[in-house]
Amino acid sequence: MIFCYNAGMNSKEKTKMTRNIVPDNFTITLALVDALPVLFFGATMILIGTLFSHPLFLAGAILTTITGVVKVLWKIIVVLKKKNIWWMFVQMRMLMPVGFFLMLLSLILGRNSLSATRIWNGLISFPSVFFFIIGVIGMAAMILFAAKLDSSDSKANWIEQATNGVAQASFFVGVLIIIINAT
């Protein structure tokens, strides 16, 4: 296995994790902090599931959460065993979109049980709207980071996890406010 070393790489090489790279600058703290966005996402899906219980939504939320858990486990293995179990790294790219697709499909198929007006009013109500704006900005930043940052670099991972953590926490608080206001 090749340990991650970025000196002398061009920018295109720096942004591409491969099965042969074992990041040597990851820490257990980084791996555990990576679990926070997964926990916030899972908690948000539970909250939404209390309002909208469609089997495809549940399946998509579970699949998406599991992909996050597997990625956290991948980082823990990288830190503790100095091994890159490649399928654990790449599974997220394939399975997470499937999970999101299932959730979106459930909203389309279960639209008769939803009130678009109530959802919209909840999203734009004060103060939840600020949390959703922060969440959307965070997700947009994550898309940019995926294209620009080196996924094998510890500093890039800290930036990604801090951003993702704030975004997922913001979505959680926004949904929680909607649910509290609805009761």
Q: What is the pLDDT tens value at each position of the chain, 183 positions in all?
A: 333 333 334 444 454 789 999 998 999 999 999 999 999 999 999 999 988 999 999 999 999 999 999 999 999 999 999 999 999 999 999 999 999 999 999 999 998 888 778 888 888 999 999 999 999 999 999 999 989 999 889 999 999 999 999 999 999 999 999 999 887
Count CA atoms closer than 13 A to 123's CA, side-chain side.
Answer: 11
> Taken in order 87, 89, 93, 97, is the CA torsion positive or negative?
positive
Nearest to 44 by CA among 133, 140, 177, 159: 177
Q: Say what the pLDDT of residue 11 is.
A: 43
Our CA angle for 47, 75, 65, nearest 5°, is 20
Helix axes 154-182, 35-51, angle to 10 degrees: 20
The pLDDT of residue 115: 79
CB contact at 8 A, 179 and 50: yes
Residue 74: in which H helix or E strand, if any?
A: helix 55-81
Residue 77 has phi, psi (to 5 degrees) of -65, -40
- Residue 10's Cβ-side half-sphere holds a number of Cα atoms within 13 Å equal to 1
pTM flag (> 0.85):
yes
| Per-residue pLDDT at 166 | 98
CA 55 to chain centre: 21
pLDDT at res. 122 = 87
Q: Would you state the pLDDT for residue 13?
A: 46
